[in-house]
Amino acid sequence: MTSVTENIPVDNEPQAPELLGPRALMWRKFRRHRIAYFSLWIVGIIYFIALFGDFVAPQAHDERNRRAIFAPPQGIHFIVEEEDGSRHFQIHARRLQMEIDRATMRRTYEEDPNDIIPLGFFVEGHEYDLLWMIPSNTHLFGPVDADDHVYFFGSDRLGRDILSRIIIGTKISMSIGLVGVAISLIVGVTLGGISGYYGGWIDNIIQRLIEFIRSIPTIPLWMGLAAAIPLDWPPLRTYFVVTIIVSMIGWTSLAREVRGKFLSLRNEDFITAARLDGLTDWQVIRKHMVPSFSSHIIASLTLAVPLMILAETSLSFLGIGLQPPIVSWGTLLKEAQNIRTIIEAPWLLIAPGTMIVIAVLALNFLGDGLRDAADPHAH
């Protein structure tokens, strides 16, 4: 008997499991949240518009046109019909023809299908500084002829393009959210961390301060602080002061959350080991305590951004925040305070209001997704 031994390869060796860090696990969990993942793209587009606003805006936001006062939104058309009946593709808008009713002195506009305004991408227009340093006159989309005017979202009482003003206002409104959250982050983490780490009389003083600030009615507090801003201040200084005013309330909730985290962490074994290893209090806080719940802080700050945006919008709408010539979503909504204006030009309310709703919803969904991804117990 001859035994034959076959060399059969053995591929049943167990594979080592893939080890993922906390950030990779958080990203994988976040991508499963479809609404939050989609909102991340929406927020990214909004901040792209805020960063490259002059490039995206089809016209200068402060350019006036007396023959286009309260002009209605113009549509975009793609097929041009010639007089001989032939058709061809061309992106265009139809020029508005204005008529004035002599009896009521009201303006009416009608589109002329025979008078078109060619539109295109990367067209030349008004000059601006890209990223505040590069001179340019190229715009993403707009009329091919720089002398033409197209109002995709309509115009206001001075004949200014609403779309361009919303795009430029995105810079102010969205940056106030970021700067306000940055201030809240510094103040909230610092005072909340000190309060939770040391406790005792320091904790009592900080908590009583937080309770005092939270007990003050928000609108009267903002009105009083905004009234103290001198009228002759330059717009940039006013912008930063309004940002600080908006941030004065936002840091209190974050400080409470940080305090609670510090109270639960300061007696953990790894914190005790870090102290025994000779680390200072600042090193323990910076290297061990704050990183242990940094994902929670990121989620909380993401949810705080829309609150900052709404606060700025409310202040500017009430006339105690940013004032013209600064353009923000709040100052644009202020144009729609008059009921007569809303009746004649409803786009003054609809256009900036829709932008605010989209931004706030996207940021809220994004914050919810980050919070769920950062929570190890969430499914």
Nearest CA to 155 among 3, 345, 300, 361? 345
Which residues, in sequence order, are bridge partners of residue 110?
A: 97
Which residues, in sequence order, are bridge partners of residue 141?
A: 121
Write down the domain spans for the chain: 40-51+166-374, 72-154
Nearest CA to 167 among 185, 142, 184, 199? 142
Extended strands (E) in the chain: 77-81, 87-100, 107-130, 134-143
H-state helical runs in 115-234: 162-198, 200-215, 218-227
Return the CATH architecture of domain 40-51+166-374. Orthogonal Bundle (1.10)
d(CA 193, CA 254): 10
d(CA 91, CA 94): 10
d(CA 154, CA 166): 11
CA trace torsion 336, 328, 300, 240 (10° rounding)? -130
pLDDT, tens digit only, all 379 positions of the chain: 445 444 555 455 555 556 666 677 778 888 888 999 999 999 999 999 999 999 999 999 889 988 888 899 999 999 888 777 788 888 999 998 888 877 777 788 888 888 899 999 999 988 998 888 889 999 999 999 888 899 999 999 888 999 999 999 998 888 888 888 888 888 888 888 888 888 888 989 999 998 888 888 877 777 777 777 777 777 777 788 888 877 877 788 888 888 888 888 888 888 888 888 888 888 888 788 877 777 777 777 787 888 888 888 887 877 777 777 888 888 888 888 778 788 888 999 899 999 999 999 998 898 888 878 876 555 5
